[in-house]
């Protein structure tokens, strides 16, 4: 057993309101620079939708992630042979138009315009060429546009759904969507690290954060192809790749990453998990059906004496082990089994977990006769000629999940490599916690029914309360359990913590100038 510590995240999708505050916090700190304008290390997508870059989930287009070959895995679009043969021109590299061309407006024209009969306008200009452009896309162009032919219906996750199921999803009355905030997953089997010909990308042993050494990166740009989540970005100005650094300077100082700190819905949790590094390759190359289970099994019980002993043998500090025991990630992922990795079938073993959203499935639609109700209305009132009822009753216990407005197949294709039962189990559990709380606070439900719900989902009321607490009431220190970085034992984790203006945030003392 080779125990390592990993900073691991949980995003609770039910709580995400899609406000993009996380994206802005990240942008203001890290990517507000020339060449990085188009980068959103943190972005929020509307699902169903095409995302950013467009259709990033479709690996037939982008060739990201790992592929199973017999008993082994290989990189789909990069790797030793393919990467070096394609080094002069990478056929699978997304270009900037797959993201969007960054733009600004000529605001000065508004001020400097001479007096005239017409209002002056601020024309949009490209942030690359400085020339006027027609804006065609932005980082969240599909925001809230579920159901549109351009975005929602192009979602790569729909390919396993029958046309009838898709049609049902996009009926005006049934339409639903949710938000998917994304950052780098800081994977255990990162494809970007494996694809980098220079060896510039590495995983930090102490906390598992994946970083790109800006001094070693030589713009071979294979990581952009290899990352199936498209979270490694090419800076066209400096000729270096960049990615989410999980705000490691903040984490080392005990602060939560900016996106998590600023999260309005408090959907984000950060904690340490201990895992067995010996299993990485074996788990990453196992059958797709057992992929999720085996990935979750890699995460070790931080209370287990044997685990603690081997963790100590590996030099993991007592404070880190303690943080792992209090880790909200461990609770969500292992103790309660409520969170799943995003697209585990890419085989990178992502360490960012999502609690799948209950909201799109919460209410069912029933066909009722609204005639009697309509006749009672004022004759001048607008008469809606529909017979739908948005039903949030709890008469049928699992009815809303069984007849969800969202086919569970859709959620399963995102979070469990197609296993609907896993998603269903979690949704039932989430619903059970709500029913339990409804019983506690409102008390309008049949006791037998509540007990049945809890029994069905194997929940005790203590557990349900704990889930409720961490979901709804959790304070800052409950959501972010960050172990000390123990600087007393080494001067700095970084070589240089000084930085220069316009630099890339990696503690470089030299100016980030491109060469001649």
Binding site for another protein (CB under 8 A): 80, 83-84, 87-91, 93-96, 128-131, 189-190, 193-194, 196-199, 201-206, 211, 213-221, 224, 234, 236-240, 280, 314-317, 489-491, 493-496, 506-508, 510, 512-516
Comparison of 238 and 439: residue with beta carbon closer to another protein:
238
Q: How far is the CB of 199 from another protein (least distance, A)?
A: 6
Q: How far is the CB of 260 from another protein (least distance, A)?
A: 23
Comparison of 221 and 428: residue with beta carbon closer to another protein:
221
Comparison of 200 and 435: residue with beta carbon closer to another protein:
200
CB-based contacts of 407, cutoff 8 Å, min separation 6: 161, 165, 168, 169
Number of neighbouring beta carbons within 10 Å of residue 489 = 7
Comparison of 263 and 272: residue with beta carbon closer to another protein:
272
Q: Is the dihedral of CA 237, 239, 245, 247 positive or negative?
A: negative
The one-character DSSP state at 514 is: P
Q: How far is the CB of 64 from another protein (least distance, A)?
A: 15
The one-character DSSP state at 126 is: E
CA distance 113 to 108: 8
Comparison of 221 and 422: residue with beta carbon closer to another protein:
221
Comparison of 74 and 452: residue with beta carbon closer to another protein:
74
The two beta strands, 340-341 and 352-355, are: antiparallel
Q: How far is the CB of 251 from another protein (least distance, A)?
A: 13
Q: How far is the CB of 434 from another protein (least distance, A)?
A: 42
Comparison of 83 and 302: residue with beta carbon closer to another protein:
83
Task: Name the residue among 442, 438, 477 with its Cα closest to residue 454.
Answer: 438
Comparison of 57 and 206: residue with beta carbon closer to another protein:
206
Question: Following DSSP, what letter does each residue of 60-101 receive, concatenated?
Answer: HHH--SEEEETTEEEESS-SHHHHHHTSSS-TT---HHHH--
Q: How far is the CB of 63 from another protein (least distance, A)?
A: 14
CA distance 109 to 463: 61
Q: How far is the CB of 198 from another protein (least distance, A)?
A: 5
Comparison of 11 and 99: residue with beta carbon closer to another protein:
99
Q: How far is the CB of 203 from another protein (least distance, A)?
A: 5
**Is the backbone peptide bond immediately before 501 cis, with ω within 30 degrees of 0?**
no
Comparison of 291 and 316: residue with beta carbon closer to another protein:
316
Comparison of 280 and 352: residue with beta carbon closer to another protein:
280
Task: Name the residue among 22, 21, 18 with its Cα closest to residue 47.
Answer: 18
What separation in angstroms does the CA of 257 have from each of 37, 172, 260, 270? 20, 38, 5, 9
**Which residue's entry shows tokens 């017409």?**
118
Q: How far is the CB of 15 from another protein (least distance, A)?
A: 33
Q: How far is the CB of 12 from another protein (least distance, A)?
A: 30
Tokens encoding 203: 């995983």
Q: Are 350 and 6 in contact (CB under 8 A)?
A: no
CA distance 205 to 311: 13
Q: Are 363 and 391 in contact (CB under 8 A)?
A: yes
Number of neighbouring beta carbons within 10 Å of residue 24 = 15
Q: How far is the CB of 506 from another protein (least distance, A)?
A: 5
User: CA 450, 451, 457: angle at the middle one, nearest 5?
Assistant: 95
């Amino acid at each position: 057993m080779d125990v390592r510590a990993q900073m691991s995240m949980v995003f609770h999708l039910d709580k995400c309101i899609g406000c993009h505050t996380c994206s802005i916090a990240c942008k203001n700190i890290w990517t507000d620079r020339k060449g990085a304008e188009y980068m959103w290390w943190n972005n929020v997508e509307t699902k169903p939708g095409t995302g950013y870059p467009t259709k990033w989930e479709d690996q037939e287009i982008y060739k990201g992630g790992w592929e199973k070959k017999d008993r082994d895995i290989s990189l789909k679009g990069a790797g030793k042979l393919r990467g070096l043969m394609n080094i002069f021109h990478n056929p699978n590299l997304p270009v900037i138009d797959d993201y969007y061309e960054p733009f600004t407006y000529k605001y000065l024209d508004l001020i400097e315009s001479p007096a005239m009969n017409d209002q002056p306008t601020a024309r949009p200009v490209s942030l690359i060429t400085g020339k006027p452009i027609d804006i065609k896309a932005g980082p969240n162009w599909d925001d809230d546009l579920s159901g549109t032919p351009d975005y929602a219906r192009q979602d790569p996750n729909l390919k396993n759904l029958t046309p009838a199921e898709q049609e049902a999803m996009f009926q005006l009355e049934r339409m639903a969507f949710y938000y998917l905030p994304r950052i780098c997953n800081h994977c255990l089997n990162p494809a970007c690290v494996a694809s980098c010909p220079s060896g510039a990308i590495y995983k930090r042993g102490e906390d598992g954060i994946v970083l790109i050494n800006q001094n070693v990166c030589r713009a071979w740009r294979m990581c952009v192809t290899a990352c199936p989540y498209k979270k490694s970005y090419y800076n066209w100005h400096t000729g270096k790749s960049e990615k989410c650094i999980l705000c490691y300077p903040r984490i080392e100082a005990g602060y939560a990453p900016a996106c998590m700190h600023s999260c309005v819905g408090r959907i984000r949790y950060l904690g340490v998990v201990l895992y067995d590094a010996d299993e990485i390759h074996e788990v990453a190359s196992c059958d797709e059906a057992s992929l999720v289970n085996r990935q979750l099994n890699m995460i070790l019980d931080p209370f287990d004496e044997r685990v603690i002993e081997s963790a100590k043998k590996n030099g993991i500090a007592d404070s880190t082990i303690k943080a792992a025991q209090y880790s909200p990630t461990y609770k969500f992922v292992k103790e309660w089994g409520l969170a799943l990795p995003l697209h585990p079938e890419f085989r990178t073993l992502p360490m960012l977990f999502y609690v799948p959203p209950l909201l799109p499935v919460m209410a069912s639609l029933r066909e009722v006769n609204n005639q009697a109700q309509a006749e009672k209305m004022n004759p001048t009132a607008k008469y809606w000629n529909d017979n739908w009822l948005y039903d949030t009753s709890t008469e049928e216990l699992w009815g809303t999940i069984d007849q969800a407005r969202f086919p569970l197949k859709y959620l399963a294709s995102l979070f469990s490599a197609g296993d609907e039962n896993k998603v269903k189990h979690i949704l039932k559990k989430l619903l059970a916690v709500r029913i339990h709380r409804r019983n506690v606070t409102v008390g309008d439900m049949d006791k037998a029914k509540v007990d049945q719900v809890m029994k069905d989902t194997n929940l005790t009321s203590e557990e349900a309360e704990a889930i409720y607490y961490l979901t709804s009431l959790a304070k800052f220190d409950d959501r972010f359990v960050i172990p000390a970085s123990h600087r007393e034992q080494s001067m700095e984790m970084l070589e240089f913590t000084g930085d220069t203006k316009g630099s890339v945030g990696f503690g470089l003392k030299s100016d980030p100038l491109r060469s001649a």
